[in-house]
Amino acid sequence: MKKWLCSPAPAGVNNEITAQFGELLGGVMLSRGITTLDRAREFFGCSSLSDPLLMKDMESTVDVIRQALDEGKKITVYGDYDCDGVTSTAMLYGYLDAMGAEVEYYIPDRSEGYGMNIPALEKILDQGTELIITVDNGVSAVEEAEYIRQRGAQLVITDHHQPPQELPVCEACVNPHRQDDNSPFKELCGAGVVLKLLCALEEDEEFVMEQYAELAAVGTIGDVMPLVGENRYIVRRGIEDIRASQNIGIDRLLRTAGVSPESVDATTVAFSICPRINAAGRIAAADKAVQLLMADSPEQAGLLSEELNLMNENRRAEEARIMEDVSRQLESDPSILRERVLVVSGEGWHHGVIGIVAARLLEKYGKPVLMISVENGEARGSARGIDGFSIYKLLDRCSRVLTKFGGHPKAGGFSLPADRVEDFRQMVYAFCRECYPKMPEYTVSADMEITGDRLTEEALNSLSQLEPCGEGNQRPVFLLRNCTVESKRALKDGRYTSFELRSGGVKLKALCFGIPFAKFHPEQGSMVDIIAAAELNEFRGVKSVTLKVQEIRPSGFREDRFFAAQRTYEEISRGEGCDSRLAPRVIPDRNALMAVYDLLRKYGGAMSAEELCIYGGSDLNYCMLRIALDTFASAGMAEQSADADTVRLIPVTHKTDLMASGFLADLRRMLGVQ
């Protein structure tokens, strides 16, 4: 369950935005803070890159590279194994190779960890490299930079990660986040920084964009950078080139994934290209992805794209295996799931995949997740967080047991000795009790509230002006209240649900890709609220509006009541108790137990505890419902999964006085109730 947010229309705002852009697009713009025509021109108007020489040390970087080219020095591009690092490497290596340089590239294996390391540098320098240029890494490599200096080689750093107070000693360090950097746009990824470097070297932005915008766009989307300002321009140009099939490797990768290049948008790049490039670094070696992006023949590109596609399938299989392992852990010890933060660990989990699994668990359970893979006495972890909870603050507080950590408020990585995992887990729990006694809710946001009659063909066509959409500029989603469900049917053997609804006097088709038909509980004639994206579809020359539903619930649902009851249940489950005045709303009486028994007889096995609360038609709050289910389970009259996603009655032949059960007696004692 997510808390629904919807941006209110700004009060007292001049209607010049809606007058210029229309009611729907204008409303979305206003909800996103674009409240004046000047702001609108700033958002839509970027059609070139700012002067690359405004970036600190860019001029020095150009001088060092040109001198190396003139003197025939051997150059190594030192990249990274994620999508941004791979595209950055392909761009700079490809350019230097085209310029006639003696150039190689090095991308560390994931087991080496992120960034430069001394053993790799020793190997590179022993092979005669005289200049190392980092892409998408290096700004924190103080020790490694000193090693390069002692070996008599040169180092140029290009990076976009937050720099430490002490920068590495090197010939030049280009990073838009340097405190002394005066460039106007700070949200570049590693590939974006390389793109600016190539513009400075070539002194011809249009030529560079024609050659490298495609790769820079993939890196920008893959690194989940905000699609605003110069990033919008980079991605827009790059997608145009992808549609024109300029890069053979990207073209073959799309076709292998079953995607027509002509239909590509930023979402396609994010879900079809980036995962396959990342899969190489997660499962095998990122070198294969670099080779694909630089492939010069359809045959070579075809073979490499098939390899990457297979790696992606292996990545998915590994994800599924880890998810099953986590499910077994939770069933074995459901108390793990009651904590404010979900911390799970396992032997042999692929450390290149646990970050993806952490994101999936966060989506499923609505709370921050820390995944820890243990192997050969070392534990490596990946964390994902939610708005209002700082992963970085958490890791910093627990740093005394960590050998390494890094990240930002919503994601992070860390490592620690395997024998300290349980200590770390308890430190995480203690931190949350102290700093987040009331955890923030997991949220979903809508741009604006509308009715169906406002989703006209003209209005939806206007939304295309927001493209490319992605991080920082999401595809618009809308809140529609009090919609009437008129019909529903199963799609794809029941894996998805299609239904028709009426809103604002018009009938609309809606699709739920995240809800199997068996789990779609609104009945014909019922009133629902939805959060959905809207798009135009054309079939046999007829255009129609389709809603892609992200969230759905009964109209009038009290989410504040639900979350308060959910929080109380978890506090009680952790043994923290609750205010004794809440006991009458927490401990079920005989009538409440009978009501839950009737719900289980009617819906048992078909609904989760959450769904019973939302759709069951009972007035019981979520906390009392869960405690009643626990009471039945403790008496052997019901069974439920750890997350109560599955609950059902167990046939019994004897009568049981549940009001006298030991479970309820223990609960009364804990809450101080007679």
State the 10-residue block means of pLDDT for the chain, 674 residues long: 87 78 95 93 93 98 98 98 96 98 95 90 98 96 97 98 92 97 97 99 97 98 96 98 95 96 95 96 92 96 97 96 97 96 96 94 97 95 96 94 87 94 98 96 96 96 96 96 97 96 97 94 97 91 93 96 95 89 88 95 92 92 96 95 94 90 92 80
Q: Residue 673: what pLDDT? A: 81
> For residues 175 and 159, is the Cβ–Cβ distance under 8 A?
yes
Buried b / exposed e over 401-413, threshold 16 CB at 10 Å, is ebeebebeebbbb
Name the pairing type of β-strands 647-649 and 638-640: antiparallel
Q: Which amino acid is at 10?
A: P
Q: Residue 584: what pLDDT? A: 81
Tokens linked to 75? 């150059």
Residue 207: count of CB within 10 angstroms of its CB = 12
Alpha helices in 175-297 (DSSP H): 190-202, 205-222, 229-243, 248-256, 266-268, 274-283, 287-293
Q: How far apart are the first and last CA of the chain?
A: 33
Residue 68 host element (H or E) = helix 58-71
Q: How far apart are CA 24 and CA 186, in angstroms?
A: 30
> For residues 205 and 171, is the Cβ–Cβ distance under 8 A?
no
Q: In what order do the strands lie in the sheet with 74-78?
A: 102-106, 74-78, 131-135, 154-158, 172-174
Tokens linked to 272? 């079809």
- Those residues whose C-beta lies under 8 Å from the C-beta of residue 591, and which sit 6 or more positions away, are none
Q: How far apart are CA 253 and CA 248, in angstroms?
A: 9
Q: How far apart are CA 323 and CA 503, in angstroms?
A: 39
Cα–Cα separations (whole angstroms), residue 457 to 464, 519, 528: 12, 31, 24
Domains and CATH numbers, the chain: 52-305 (3.90.1640.30), 333-437 (3.10.310.30), 445-554 (2.40.50.460), 559-671 (no CATH)
Most distant CA pair in the chain, distance: 92
Residue 667 host element (H or E) = helix 662-671
Q: Would you say the pTM of this structure is higher than 0.85?
A: yes
Q: Residue 100: what pLDDT? A: 97
Q: How far apart are CA 562 and CA 322, in angstroms?
A: 31
